[in-house]
A and B are shown apart, each in its own frame.
Chain A
Amino acid sequence: MTSQEDNFMRKIEADEKIEPKDWMPEAYRKNLIRQMSQHAHSEVIGMQPEGNWITRAPSLRRKVVLLSKVQDEAGHGLYLYSATETLGITRAELIAALQSGEAKYASIFNYPTLTWGDVGAIGWLVDGAAIVNQVSLQRTSYGPYSRGMIRICKEESFHQRQGYEALLALANGSPEQKQMAQDSLNRFYWPALMMFGPHDSESAHSAKSMEWKIKRETNDDLRQKFIDQTVPQIEVLGLEHPDKAIKWNEERGHYDSGEIDWDEFYSVINGNGHCNRQRVEHHIAAHDEGTWVRDAITAYNEKKNAKKAQNVA
């Protein structure tokens, strides 16, 4: 090992953070860019399924709450893109990788939001799963990522609560409304479990990420936390648990659960979910439609600078 590598590993082992101007192995940088940009893309693409319901929210209150949540996701995307850029990659490169399909985003957003109940289920389960992951990532070894996670976690606690509250209203409503809540839970529960990624034994990036402390807990450990915390939440809603194999295991101190449909997981990751094409097409269209705004900013700056130059002369 060179002295640079030594120094780097010493910091990692001492739980010190790596900061942007520190020397770091190329593979560490690449691994971080992959994970952080995937995280940023997820925040941004994640606005689509929920945005789908802003104009159709059942009350003005639900509408302002949803608007506010989607606005947060845009902000979180920005924090994460900025943190990723400290690794020496440009925003344009990151966006291009998303649009070409080279970079991934959380597969959960390739599922459609068919009913209002889905908006509640996303806040409760999808944001809930994301929070479990992000709380763990507050301790990640890369300083800017860690600080971004701390800020995001602080802002995000309302996301899960508003989703649960919306679903609780449905679950306590008419039989049709309760059925809507059950249907949303059934459709989003398993994809939410998949958000934690493949089993540790199958995960391509896990071992190195753990060694470098980019990830602090394994996919399976984080998933178990989420499974455990969700059981009482389903009970309070008075809904049926979608996993018929869920059972408390006294010895482990955790719930045992049924197996995830991994064929579905890989099929959606590989582009065959319900909405994969739509999500990326929409992103490209929105980006193209914004070209005139970016052009206008440039034109205005040029005009201002020309005026300044004239005044000086």
Chain B
Amino acid sequence: MEIDPLIFRLSIFILSIFVGYYVVWSVTPSLHTPLMSVTNAISSVIIVGAIIAGLSGNSDSVFNTSSIFGFLAIALAAINIFGGFLVTQRMLAMYKKKKKDK
């Protein structure tokens, strides 16, 4: 009997939780705020689902109920992607080391 592809996805999911667990514990506490903003940005990779949804209309009508929800989701996710990555970059640029020679 063939293995359901769902099992493979589940394996990826479970293993990623463990990867996340170890990676996040190694994040230095002083960078916990950038951690939150960058996780925000990357979880907006949900935009791939939104794009599929947005393109679900046919050539005669781009807009139907389903694709409109897709387009809205694209805009929301895009706010997060750009906002999340840029604000993280802005924060990280502020973390400076002590100047050794004064």
Chains A and B are bound partners: no
B-side residues, CB < 8 A to A, are none
